Amino acid sequence: MSAETPVCQLLERQDADYGGWLWVAPPRDAWLEAGEGRLLSADQGVLAAWRARGRVAHSPFEGVEPAPSGVVLFWPKSHALGEWWLLWLCAHLPSGTPLQLVGENQGGIKRVLKVLAALGLGCRKVDSARRCGLYATRLARVGIDPDAAWTTFEVDLGDETLRLVSHPGVFGHGKLDDGTRLLLEQLSASLAEGGEAPGDVLDAGCGDGILVAWLARRGARVTAVDVSHFAVEATRRTLAANGLEGEVLASDVYSALGAHRFDAIVSNPPFHQERAVDYGPAGRLILEAPEHLRSGGQLILVANAFLPYPDMLTRAFGGFEVLADDRRFRVYRAVKG
């Protein structure tokens, strides 16, 4: 089976024996999933795909045992997240472990030279092709705790303040996204029509947990899901920081929810996978939403105004309404009959 992505095509042509190696934060690629080595990823979709093949796969919150023969780190679009992965590997794996770093030129792989130099790690270029680069070094203790990457900040929502915890790679890291703010402005009236409590609410794509924290504070029974284990951990920390409770699960959209039905689903869904536009997760969120809502339940989401979600909402629900439109973002609501 041949590699599908440019970074894996570059690795495929190497002479290295990757059998005992650890693949860190790779993309979905059948060549990797059918090959040798173990996986370390914070992406629940990638983890599930490897485990479905009987492959060894862990998140960084589970650790790595035993120590690998070597490591390949796939450099992400988020430079800060790439640095975190590098610090995590240096802190958790034996010094001297061979490390290769691979990534696309447009994704910033060439910047790893400065990052490695700043950490006192030597580096050599191994190969380049398909507009990608491959570099090699060895892990060493660098004296920087990767947990220092966690950020805590407060968001002023006018009549209240929430304390949020975030991590590089989590959507809206370190700030409140404008679309999420617009969504919050609409949620109070939409979820409390008739003067009742919000009920069972799902936040699909929870990020740093601002929506579930806001909802839990108003008495909702909240469940939060995100494909990113960083987001799952951030949301758990955000709830704890505000003295709130809720269930938070790693889930590729609805994959971990089983037959649970909700009174409402709220979301600011992603539409990028690294640098590529990807409507897949948002499409499943919308089209499968009726299966996860009780009768009369509603889907409320915010999205960039240019995204093609009205057609999906019509297909799934037969109709929808626009609750807010500031020309940049729209807040949509659709109700299950």
Same domain, 66 and 47: yes
Residue 314 lies in domain: 150-335
Residue ending a domain, choose from 147, 163, 197:
147
The CATH number of residue 23's host domain is: 3.40.50.150
**Does residue 1 form part of some domain?**
no
| Residue 248 within a domain | yes
pLDDT at 174: 85
Residue 210 sits in the same domain as residue 155: yes
Which distant-in-sequence residues (6+ apart) come within 8 Å of 293 by Cβ? 261, 262, 263, 264, 265, 299, 336
Distances (CA, A) of 25 to 146, 228, 277: 16, 11, 19
Specify if 175 maps to a domain: yes
Residue 75 in domain: yes
pLDDT tens, 135-171?
A: 999 999 999 999 999 999 999 998 899 999 999 999 8
Map residue 135 onto helix, strand or coil: strand
| 201 vs 159: CA distance, rounded Å | 22
pTM to 2 decimal places: 0.93
Instruction: State how far the Cα of 329 lies from the Cα of 333, in Å rounded to an integer.
Output: 13
For 321, left (φ over 0), alpha (ψ -120 to 50), or beta?
A: beta
How many domains, the chain?
2
- The pLDDT of residue 272: 43
pLDDT less than 50: residues of the chain: 272-275, 277
Instruction: Give the whole-angstrom CA distance, residue 91 versus residue 107.
Output: 25
Q: What pLDDT sits at residue 277?
A: 46
Q: How many CA atoms lie within 13 A of 249 on its CB side?
A: 16
Clarify whether residues 177 and 308 are in a common domain.
yes
pLDDT of residue 1: 79
pLDDT at 190: 80
pLDDT of residue 189: 79
R_g (Cα) of the chain, nearest Å: 21
Task: Tell whether 25 is covered by a domain.
Answer: yes
